[in-house]
Chains A and B, each alone.
Chain A
Amino acid sequence: MKVAPFHYHAPASKQEALDLLAHYEPEDARILAGGQSLIPMMAFRLARPGHLIDINRIPGLHGIDLRGDAIYIGAIARHAAFEKPIEPGPTGRLLADVAAAIGHAPIRSRGTFCGSLANADPASEWCMTATALGARMRIEKSGALRELEASEFFFGIMTTALEADEMLTGLTLPRLPADARHGFYETSRRAGDFALGAALAIYRLQDGRMQDARIVLAGAEPHPRRLADAEACLNGEVPSDAAFRAAAEAAANAIDPLTDGQVDAGLRCDIARAVCHRALLRSLA
Chain B
Amino acid sequence: MNAVLGRRVTRLEDRPLLTGCGRFAGDMVFEGQLYMRIARATCAHGRIAAMHLDAAKALPGVVAIWAGDDIADLPPIDFRDPAATALAPYRQTILARERVRYIGEPVVAIFATDAYIAEDAAELIEIEYDEYPVTLDASGPLGEFAPGLQTEPIMLEQGYGDIAAAFARAHAVIELTLKIGRHSGVPLETRGAIGRYDAANDILELHGAAKVPHRNQEAMARFFGRDHAHLHLHEGHVGGGFGIRGELYPEDFLVCLAALRLGRPVKWIEDRREHLMAANHSREQEHHIRAAIDKDGVVLGLEDEFFHDQGAYIRTHGARVVDLTIGMLPGPYRIPAYRAKGHMRLTNKTPAATYRSPGRYEGSFVRERLMDAVAGRLGLDPIIVRQRNLVPKDAMPYARGLGALGTDVVLDSGDYAGLLDKALKRFDWRGRQAAIQARRAKGEYVGLGICMFVEKSGLGPKDGARIGVLPDGGIEIVTGSASLGQGVETALAQIAADTLGVDYRSIRVIHGQTDRIPYGIGAHASRATVLTGNATHQAAILLRETIMKAAADLLQLPVASLLIRDSIVSAREGGHGPSISLRDLAVQMPDALHSEGWFHTDHMTYPYGVHLAQVCLDAETCLTKVESYLVAYDVGRAVNPAMVEGQIAGGFAQGLGGALYEEFRYDERGEPLSVTFADYLIPTLHEVPALDILVTEDAPSPLNPLGIKGAGEGGCTGVGAAIASAVADALQKPEAVKTLPITPQRLRNMLRGPA
Direct A–B contact present (CB less than 8 angstroms): yes
> Bound complex: CA of A251 vs CA of B49, how far in Å?
52
Contact B687 A270 (CB under 8 A): no
Residues of A within 8 A of B687 (CB): 190-191
Contact A270 B745 (CB under 8 A): no
Of residues 105 through 140 on chain B, the ones whose CB sits less than 8 Å from some CB of chain A are 115-116, 119-120, 123
Residues of B within 8 A of A194 (CB): 678
Among the 9-residue stretches B70-78, B481-489, B616-624, B632-640, the one with 4 or more Cβ atoms under 8 Å from chain A is B616-624
Contact A261 B673 (CB under 8 A): yes
> Bound complex: CA of A193 vs CA of B744, how far in Å?
14
Q: A196-B621, A273-B620 are in contact. Are A263 and B273 (CB under 8 A)?
A: no
CB-CB contacts of A26-44 with B at 8 A, as 1s and 0s?
0000000000000000001
Residues of B within 8 A of A193 (CB): 678, 681
Contact of B665 among A5, A261, A263 (CB under 8 A): A261
Shortest beta-carbon distance from B120 to chain A in Å: 7
Contact B622 A267 (CB under 8 A): yes
Q: Does B748 contact A (CB under 8 A)?
A: yes
Q: Does A163 contact B (CB under 8 A)?
A: no
Contact of A267 among B676, B686, B744 (CB under 8 A): B744
Contact of A266 among B115, B119, B620, B748 (CB under 8 A): B748
Contact B623 A270 (CB under 8 A): no
Residues of A within 8 A of B460 (CB): none
Q: Does B743 contact A (CB under 8 A)?
A: yes
Residues of B within 8 A of A266 (CB): 748, 752
Q: A263-B744, A266-B748, A271-B621 are in contact. Are A191 and B684 (CB under 8 A)?
A: yes
Residues of A within 8 A of B683 (CB): 190
> Bound complex: CA of A45 vs CA of B119, how far in Å?
10
> Bound complex: CA of A4 vs CA of B621, how far in Å?
40
Looking at chain A's contact residues, the main secondary structure is loop
When C-beta atoms are compared, the residue in chain B nearest to A264 turns out to be B745
> Bound complex: CA of A261 vs CA of B685, how far in Å?
26
When C-beta atoms are compared, the residue in chain A nearest to B752 turns out to be A266
Contact B271 A270 (CB under 8 A): no
Q: A44-B676, A194-B678 are in contact. Are A5 and B623 (CB under 8 A)?
A: no
When C-beta atoms are compared, the residue in chain A nearest to B665 turns out to be A261
CB-CB contacts of A1-27 with B at 8 A, as 1s and 0s?
111110000000000000000000000
Contact B620 A44 (CB under 8 A): no
Residues of A within 8 A of B685 (CB): 191
Q: Does A274 contact B (CB under 8 A)?
A: yes
Residues of B within 8 A of A262 (CB): 743-745
Q: A192-B684, A267-B745 are in contact. Are A5 and B120 (CB under 8 A)?
A: yes
Contact A190 B684 (CB under 8 A): yes
Contact A270 B684 (CB under 8 A): no
When C-beta atoms are compared, the residue in chain B nearest to A194 turns out to be B678
When C-beta atoms are compared, the residue in chain B nearest to A275 turns out to be B621
Contact B621 A189 (CB under 8 A): no
Residues of B within 8 A of A45 (CB): 123
> Bound complex: CA of A281 vs CA of B681, how far in Å?
30
Shortest beta-carbon distance from A115 to chain B in Å: 17
Contact A2 B115 (CB under 8 A): yes
Contact B620 A263 (CB under 8 A): no
Contact of A191 among B621, B686, B744, B752 (CB under 8 A): B686
Residues of A within 8 A of B123 (CB): 4, 45
Shortest beta-carbon distance from B387 to chain A in Å: 36
> Bound complex: CA of A275 vs CA of B667, how far in Å?
29
Contact B116 A2 (CB under 8 A): yes
> Bound complex: CA of A193 vs CA of B673, how far in Å?
17
> Bound complex: CA of A267 vs CA of B676, how far in Å?
23
> Bound complex: CA of A248 vs CA of B648, how far in Å?
43
Q: A1-B273, A44-B676, A270-B620 are in contact. Are A189 and B119 (CB under 8 A)?
A: no
Q: Does A222 contact B (CB under 8 A)?
A: no
Contact A189 B273 (CB under 8 A): no
CB-CB contacts of B603-626 with A at 8 A, as 1s and 0s?
000000000000000101111000
Q: Does A124 contact B (CB under 8 A)?
A: no
Contact B623 A187 (CB under 8 A): yes
Q: A1-B271, A1-B272, A274-B621 are in contact. Are A189 and B684 (CB under 8 A)?
A: no
> Bound complex: CA of A201 vs CA of B141, how far in Å?
52
> Bound complex: CA of A271 vs CA of B745, how far in Å?
11
Contact B119 A2 (CB under 8 A): yes
Residues of B within 8 A of A270 (CB): 620-622, 748
Of residues 287 through 303 on chain B, the ones whose CB sits less than 8 Å from some CB of chain A are none
> Bound complex: CA of A170 vs CA of B149, how far in Å?
63
Q: Does B661 contact A (CB under 8 A)?
A: yes
> Bound complex: CA of A1 vs CA of B40, how far in Å?
13
When C-beta atoms are compared, the residue in chain A nearest to B675 turns out to be A44
Shortest beta-carbon distance from B48 to chain A in Å: 22
Residues of A within 8 A of B661 (CB): 189-190
Shortest beta-carbon distance from A237 to chain B in Å: 22
> Bound complex: CA of A189 vs CA of B622, how far in Å?
10
Shortest beta-carbon distance from B254 to chain A in Å: 19
> Bound complex: CA of A44 vs CA of B277, how far in Å?
14
Residues of A within 8 A of B273 (CB): 1, 44
CB-CB contacts of A182-203 with B at 8 A, as 1s and 0s?
0000010111111011000000
- Known A263-B744, A267-B622; further 15 A-B contacts with Cβ < 8 A: A1-B119, A2-B115, A189-B681, A190-B683, A190-B684, A191-B685, A191-B687, A261-B665, A262-B745, A271-B620, A271-B621, A273-B620, A274-B618, A274-B620, A274-B621
18 contacts between A and B (CB under 8 A): A1-B119, A1-B271, A1-B273, A4-B123, A5-B116, A45-B123, A189-B681, A190-B686, A193-B681, A194-B678, A262-B743, A262-B745, A263-B744, A263-B745, A266-B752, A270-B621, A270-B748, A274-B621
